[in-house]
Amino acid sequence: MVQSTLCIAHRQEVYAHGLVHGLKTEKFKSTICLTSGVEVLQFILEHQPMLAILDVDLPYLSAFDIIKICYEKNSATKFVVIFPNADCEYSISPISLSIVGVLYMDDTFQMMQARLNYLA
């Protein structure tokens, strides 16, 4: 099985670390946890992780800002966006922004893991 890098970024550090801990599997050789949009953008452009899971409302740069910049720089990273809940009112165009999936903070961990295993 090919191992890849996973980047998880969330404004709530405890939430991000919980995802990192739960998603450590044989699919990912390394998992990085960040809390600032600027740090995430720098990491993605420098290391080109296979998958980046981004909180929609990261400080300094939103998930959509990060994805747009990476798209413009031809990054091969796939993106999953975490929304606060299924009722949030964001209008996005997933295909044009390279978004391959969405997660919701109120999803169970098993639901998140199943979606990510499908994507990875």
C-alpha to C-alpha distance for 98 and 73, rounded to whole angstroms: 12
Tell me: pLDDT of 11 over 80: yes
Instruction: Name the more confident of 115 and 49.
Output: 49
Q: State the pTM of this model.
A: 0.84
Please give the pLDDT value at position 110. 81
pLDDT digits (tens, 9 = 90+) for 50-99: 889 999 989 999 998 999 999 999 999 989 998 886 666 555 555 456 78
Phi/psi at 54 (5° precision) = -120, 135
Do the beta carbons of residue 53 and residue 33 sit within 8 Å? no
Please tell me the predicted confidence (pLDDT) of residue 66.
94
**pLDDT of 27 higher than 90:** no
Per the prediction, the chain carries an average pLDDT of: 80
d(CA 29, CA 106): 27
Enumerate the β-bridge partners of residue 119: none
Closest to 31 (Cα-Cα) out of 46, 16, 15, 42 = 16
**Could you give the CA distance from residue 79 to residue 28 in angstroms, rounded to a whole number?**
15
pLDDT band of residue 39 (cuts 50, 70, 90) is: very high
Tokens standing for residue 118:
């499908």
The tokens of 16 are what? 């991000």
Of 39, 22, 23, 30, the closest CA to residue 4 belongs to 30
Where do the domains of the chain lie? 4-119
pLDDT of residue 1: 39
Q: Return the CATH fold of 4-119.
A: Rossmann fold (3.40.50)
